[in-house]
Amino acid sequence: MNTGGFDDQLLQAALDGELDARGTLDFERARAANPALAAEYERLAALRGALRNRAENLRAPESLREKIAAMAMAENESAPAVPLSPPRSNVLGFGARPRMVLAASLLCAAALGGVATSVISRQATRQGPDRIAMLLVDDHRRALLAASPIDVESSDRHTVKPWFDARLALSPNVVDLSAKGVTLVGGRAEVVDGAPAPAMVYREREHLISVTALPAARFDALASTDSVNGYNAIAWRDGAFAYWAVSDLPRADLETFVADFKTAEAAGEASR
């Protein structure tokens, strides 16, 4: 896994809750400063959560039980006709010899692996925008905890936009909202679900707003609103990008910000 040079064993220990207080604090600081580590942690945590939530409901299909029963019958028919002690019952509910047990185990592993893959796929599909909202809220919170919430500091959109171009090869519209009392602070690079993404950072009064531009071809963000862990998130799609605005601003104020952003972006496109 690519975690930007971070020790994979420490990552696993953090996921398992095995770090002490000092180790946990150090790990959280590393997550805030390392986008690749943060993305890998979120991916593994989501994977574990999907399996944990559904593991209790997993049951091998009836066809698997029938295959194993048929193997047991074939094994018994081919065995020598000599008295045998009663076979020990196993977890499948019938006696089984070592060779048959091995085959049954392989069938079980394949079947459960397919079920788990199906569960994860359904979980990712069902969570869709909700999952992205959680990832982006976590990114916003980590940025607030870091030494600086931005990678490039500038109120000039003609500085921030080329910075994104040079480092991420992605060029969202960076709009000027100073006439609305909103200041462009700068931008930072994020890794969202394994994909690099530019995040513009604005300030309205004492609140910071992260506006992340995701490739619409991969992230089909619907126009939606969510509240995650006390933060508001609003998503919309415009051209090649799916935008997400995240902030602790009151929802009404964040909705006003998004409306002003869309208006400024449309005006900028029309003037080109």
Least confident range from 155-159, 245-249, 265-269: namely 265-269
Quick check: is 143 in a domain? Answer: no
**Of the candidates 98, 127, 156, which is a domain's last residue?**
127
Counting beta carbons within 10 angstroms of the beta carbon of residue 108, is it exposed (0 to 12), middle (13 to 18) or buried (19 or more)? middle
**Of the candidates 62, 94, 127, which is a domain's last residue?**
127
What is the reported pLDDT for 271?
Answer: 45
Tokens coding 123: 């979980």
Residues 239 and 119 in one domain: no
Rounded distance between C-alpha atoms, residue 136 and residue 228, angstroms: 10
Rounded distance between C-alpha atoms, residue 36 and residue 173, angstroms: 24
**Of the candidates 95, 127, 159, which is a domain's last residue?**
127
Q: Where are the beta strands (DSSP E) in 111-261?
A: 152-153, 183-192, 195-204, 207-215, 224-228, 231-238, 241-247
Percent pLDDT > 90 in the chain is 28
What is the reported pLDDT for 207?
Answer: 95
Residues 5 and 112 in one domain: yes
pLDDT at 125 over 80: no
Residues 65 and 111 in one domain: yes
pLDDT at 13 over 90: no
Q: What is the pLDDT of residues 130-141, one digit of tens each?
A: 788 888 998 999
pTM: 0.54
Which structural domain range is residue 180 located in? Answer: 148-271
Backbone angles phi, psi at 176, to 5 degrees: -100, 115
CATH number of the domain residue 267 falls in: 3.30.200
Quick check: is 45 in a domain? Answer: yes
Nearest 5°: the CA angle 110, 114, 120 is 145
The dihedral built from the CA positions of residue 184, 147, 215 and 45, taken in this order, carries a sign that is: negative
Residues 46 and 120 in one domain: yes
Tokens coding 230: 């006390």
Residues 176 and 63 in one domain: no
| Cβ atoms of residues 238 and 265 within 8 Å | yes
Residues 181 and 251 in one domain: yes
What is the reported pLDDT for 178?
Answer: 94
Residues 63 and 168 in one domain: no
Where does the pLDDT of residue 85 fall: very low under 50, low under 70, confident under 90, or very high at 90 and above?
A: very low
Q: Are strands 195-204 and 152-153 parallel, antiparallel or unpaired?
A: unpaired
Residues 10 and 69 in one domain: yes
Instruction: Tell me what the mean pLDDT of segment 65-93 comes to.
Output: 57
Rounded distance between C-alpha atoms, residue 52 and residue 254, angstroms: 35
Residues shown for the chain: 272
Quick check: is 133 in a domain? Answer: no
Residues 111 and 195 in one domain: no
Quick check: is 137 in a domain? Answer: no
Greater pLDDT, 147 or 54? 147
Quick check: is 226 in a domain? Answer: yes
Question: How many structural domains is the chain composed of?
Answer: 2
pLDDT at 260 over 90: yes
Residues 58 and 164 in one domain: no
Tokens coding 40: 């890998």
Count of C-beta atoms within a 10 Å radius of residue 2: 11
Question: Which range scores top for mean pLDDT: 88-92, 149-153, 182-186?
Answer: 182-186
Residues 86 and 45 in one domain: yes
What is the reported pLDDT for 22?
Answer: 72
Count of C-beta atoms within a 10 Å radius of residue 133: 24
pLDDT at 90 over 90: no
Quick check: is 142 in a domain? Answer: no
Greater pLDDT, 50 or 143? 143
Quick check: is 190 in a domain? Answer: yes
Instruction: Tell me what the mean pLDDT of segment 72-91 comes to.
Output: 53
Where does the pLDDT of residue 79 fall: very low under 50, low under 70, confident under 90, or very high at 90 and above?
A: low
| Cβ atoms of residues 68 and 92 within 8 Å | yes
Residues 103 and 207 in one domain: no
Quick check: is 93 in a domain? Answer: yes
What is the reported pLDDT for 229?
Answer: 81
Q: What is the pLDDT of residues 169-181, one digit of tens each?
A: 888 889 999 999 9
